[in-house]
Chains A and B, each alone.
Chain A
Amino acid sequence: MDRLIIRFATCARAAGLMVSQAEVMDTLTHLALVDVTDPQAFHRVLRANFAKSRRDQPRFDHLFHLFFHEFREDAGLSKDLLAPEAARLARELAKEFPDDPAFKAALDFMAGDPLAFLEKLRALETDGDRPAMAMGGNLGQVARRLEMMLAAGKVKDGLLRRLGENPDNLPWQTRRELEEHFLSRLDAARRLISGEDRPLEAGAEARSAYEKRLGEIGERSFVSLTPKEVAEMREVIDQLVRKLKDLASLRYSRQKRGVLDVKKTLRKSGRYLGVPMELVRRNKPPKKGKIVTLCDVSGSVWSAARFMLNMLYSLQECFTRVRSYVFVAGLAEVTGIFEDNEISRAIDKVLAEAELEYGAPTDYGATFRQFSRNHMEVLNKKTTLIIIGDGRSNYLNPELRLLEEMREKCRRVIWLNPEAKGFWYSGDSEMRAFETRVNEVRPCQNLNQLTDFIQDLIL
């Protein structure tokens, strides 16, 4: 029994279920407590230990079925007597191609042990998720599928040949049953390889729907999104944000409870006649400081800026404070709009309500002048200033000195550029000059780049 469960666990892991040593041990303990000859009880115990979320259950059930019914050593053979026969044929055939792992995997599969075969398939499928490397990059996958298909065919031919070689050794009924068995096995293998039957993916659908979408939309340039995709992007961002929050808070989760800071507690208690009304603990998770954003909202830059604002404000609790300004030729503070409205509404409102001259040519210099005149006090050594823009300043004075002053005032300045890198230094772009005045410049053309940035920011 132990061996069987351990093998099933290996299979389950190969199929992407989270099964640790702990689960295997628990399962064995649990099996000792129930009537294992009752197939349903057996199934229930395994499922309660192997599939620990609803999403995993269909995948588990499918695998369970494959492992304990379809591919069971004796399954499909009417008499257990046939199993040794099939195994013997397989053993003999194995000697013919000793160095061919694909052949060996297919042979084991035909003879009742699906593990190696499933693992090969799994490797194939995860490879398939990688973007095609160069031209025809997908050919490799197709070729390997073909290789497995050929191996399975070779195994079948070999088995049937051996079956026919010594007709007198076996009664014809036995031979026919074995033949049927191998053919049906081959069929199963074929279905698996061609992807008609995907045990490794059953149930994975729900989990990866979001990942798939992220994959599709993550590399799409912000400028090219249709309105429908913008809405979809928001949903993807919601989930991303949730993950990032989990990450951030787990990271700060104190291993041990913060210890009571007796001195501070007593100091504070002065206000209440010496009674400690408020306990102070050490090791509060650090906040990640203040964020100030300056967003160019002219033209195409807005399409990237809105998503950045969306993410930043969704993660507000990771920062002490987020303040935002938008600009074209002049500056307007929009922090209030974000604080008073739900995020997506706030984003829609920004362009409508911020008092800006949208017709005017973008002027970074004027923006910096206005910022340093009126808002310099929002910067201090705990502030990260994020500027998002293409740096196209219509050949007007870029006021580099002011940008330098701003950098001196704060912890760091990060410049996000949503333009394709190939255009950065052309035409009226001042990127080359800006680049040397800020601490970091990052491309920000699509969701993946944006996510990387935000993740670095909060962790």
Chain B
Amino acid sequence: MEFENVEAVRQRLEEADYICSPEAATVVFLAEATGKPVLVEGPAGVGKTELAKAVAKCLGRELIRLQCYEGLDEAKALYEWEYAKQLLYTQMVKDKLSEIISGAGSLSEAVDRIANQEDAFFSERFIQPRPLLAALTSLKPVVLLIDEVDKSDPEFEAFLLEILSDFQVSIPELGTKKAVHIPFVVLTSNNYRDMSDALKRRCIHLYLDYPDRDLERRIVQLKLPGIGQRLGDQLVDSVRAIRDLDLKKKPCISETLDWARSLVVLQVEELSPAVVEETLSVLVKYRSDSGKVRENIKKVADKAGLTWTASS
């Protein structure tokens, strides 16, 4: 067990620049202690990927990342043969090859003879490990991030499930490879589609939502230590009020941080409704959403406690 208790997780993640909720700390703690994968769900930009990075950082482990997308297949995730290298070797052993096929009565006999040599062509030497194999065969324990797993195809998900159940893969040409260490696995999902029950059963579940006020405030403080107390509060409250509107895409933590950075650069010391409107484009990405915020600026200002006369 790498962590002493839940509190230790919280502390060490914080030292790795990640502020986490008690839920997140609990789940990370349990997953680490029992070697179970974590399935992190939540809207975009709430720190799912960052959590995996922070876990790797605080454990001093390498982070191996597999970014999922539609059409991702086993070859790209597990290993590929190094054709160039195979080509080079075949060229170099050309003479040997012609020796093998010399005297073959027919083309198919020649092919069969070469086929008998397949071990030489498809050996470990020519394998290029991709993230999954790399994570399994790493001599040091690693953190394996399977990012945005909901974007992969169900077929790939079924394959992942096999790996996460056995922590071994069978490479038809080479036999079975077993994990040296069970990696700490984090799967993230934006809920584009539902993951299968079997995969969920393998994992311990964490839902990351938009952070509560205190958490977001602390993240802002962590990333921008120079920000003024008052501006920080107003900023977080405004973001929260804007999130309450019915938007196409609600601002996420990274957008809060972008906004905070621009306000600091602009040397704003206090937020006013006017400043919110002027700098809105950093926070809200769709035009229809900005429109909605402008329409509701009074409501936002009230909720966030902004005063109309404040100078910017």
User: Are A and B part of the same complex?
Assistant: yes
Question: Is B11 in the interface zone, CB < 8 Å from A?
Answer: no
Q: Are A274 and B155 also in contact (CB < 8 A) when A45-B26, A54-B191, A242-B193 are? A: no
Provide the residues of chain B in CB contact with A272, threshold 8 Å. 87
Instruction: Check if A52 sits within 8 Å of B39, measured CB to CB.
Output: yes
Question: Is A149 in the interface zone, CB < 8 Å from B?
Answer: no
Instruction: Check if B204 sits within 8 Å of A48, measured CB to CB.
Output: yes
Instruction: Place the interface of chain B in its size category.
Output: 35 or more
Listed in ascending order, the chain B residues whose CB lies under 8 Å from chain A are: 5-6, 22-23, 26-27, 29-30, 33-34, 36, 39, 41-42, 74, 81, 83, 86-87, 90, 97, 111-112, 114-115, 118, 121-122, 153-155, 158-159, 170-173, 191, 193-197, 200-201, 203-207
Q: Are A266 and B111 also in contact (CB < 8 A) when A40-B22, A49-B204 are? A: yes
Other-chain residue from A23, A30, A252, A275 in contact with B30 (beta carbon distance below 8 A): A30
Provide the residues of chain A in CB contact with B171, threshold 8 Å. 257
Residue of B nearest to A21 (CB): B201
Q: How far is the CA of A250 from the CA of B159 in the complex (A)?
A: 10
Instruction: Check if B81 sits within 8 Å of A53, measured CB to CB.
Output: no
Q: Is the interface of B mostly helix, strand, loop or mixed?
A: helix
Provide the residues of chain B in CB contact with A26, threshold 8 Å. 34, 36, 204
Q: Are A48 and B26 also in contact (CB < 8 A) when A30-B34, A34-B6, A260-B173 are? A: yes
Other-chain residue from B23, B90, B112, B158 in contact with A44 (beta carbon distance below 8 A): B23
Provide the residues of chain B in CB contact with A394, threshold 8 Å. none
Least distance between B157 CB and chain A CB atoms (Å): 8
Q: Is the interface of A mostly helix, strand, loop or mixed?
A: helix
Residue of A nearest to B171 (CB): A257
Least distance between B9 CB and chain A CB atoms (Å): 11
Instruction: Check if B205 sits within 8 Å of A275, measured CB to CB.
Output: no
Other-chain residue from A40, A52, A250, A259 in contact with B155 (beta carbon distance below 8 A): A250
Instruction: Check if A276 sits within 8 Å of B121, measured CB to CB.
Output: yes
Q: How far is the CA of A275 from the CA of B201 in the complex (A)?
A: 43
Q: How far is the CA of A62 from the CA of B155 in the complex (A)?
A: 34
Q: How far is the CA of A143 from the CA of B83 in the complex (A)?
A: 73
Q: Are A33 and B22 also in contact (CB < 8 A) when A249-B155, A250-B158, A274-B90 are? A: no
For B34, B121, B193, B201, the residue with the greatest tally of chain A CB atoms inside 10 Å of its CB is B201
Instruction: Check if B207 sits within 8 Å of A44, measured CB to CB.
Output: no
Q: Are A253 and B159 also in contact (CB < 8 A) when A22-B201, A259-B172 are? A: yes
Q: Are A276 and B22 also in contact (CB < 8 A) when A18-B200, A249-B153, A259-B172 are? A: no
List 14 extra interface pairs beyond A253-B158, A272-B87, CB under 8 A: A23-B201, A30-B30, A30-B204, A34-B29, A47-B23, A49-B204, A51-B205, A52-B200, A242-B193, A249-B155, A256-B170, A260-B173, A263-B115, A273-B90
Instruction: Check if B34 sits within 8 Å of A253, measured CB to CB.
Output: no
Instruction: Check if A54 sits within 8 Å of B33, measured CB to CB.
Output: no
Q: Are A44 and B22 also in contact (CB < 8 A) when A53-B194, A260-B172 are? A: yes
Instruction: Check if B121 sits within 8 Å of A34, measured CB to CB.
Output: no
Q: How far is the CA of A52 from the CA of B205 in the complex (A)?
A: 5
Instruction: Check if B22 sits within 8 Å of A266, measured CB to CB.
Output: no
Interchain residue pairs with CB less than 8 A apart (16): A33-B29, A34-B5, A44-B26, A45-B30, A48-B206, A53-B200, A54-B41, A54-B207, A252-B155, A253-B155, A256-B170, A257-B170, A257-B172, A260-B172, A273-B90, A276-B121
Other-chain residue from A29, A253, A259, A275 in contact with B90 (beta carbon distance below 8 A): A275
Instruction: Check if B86 sits within 8 Å of A18, measured CB to CB.
Output: no
Q: How far is the CA of A358 from the CA of B180 in the complex (A)?
A: 70
Instruction: Check if A52 sits within 8 Å of B172, measured CB to CB.
Output: no
Least distance between B84 CB and chain A CB atoms (Å): 9
Question: Is A320 in the interface zone, CB < 8 Å from B?
Answer: no
Least distance between A240 CB and chain B CB atoms (Å): 13
Question: Is A219 in the interface zone, CB < 8 Å from B?
Answer: no
Provide the residues of chain B in CB contact with A20, threshold 8 Å. 201
Instruction: Check if A274 sits within 8 Å of B207, measured CB to CB.
Output: no
Least distance between B106 CB and chain A CB atoms (Å): 13
Other-chain residue from A249, A275, A279 in contact with B87 (beta carbon distance below 8 A): A275
Question: Is A41 in the interface zone, CB < 8 Å from B?
Answer: yes
Q: How far is the CA of A369 from the CA of B140 in the complex (A)?
A: 72
Least distance between A190 CB and chain B CB atoms (Å): 33
Instruction: Check if A48 sits within 8 Å of B154, measured CB to CB.
Output: no
Q: How far is the CA of A33 from the CA of B112 in the complex (A)?
A: 58
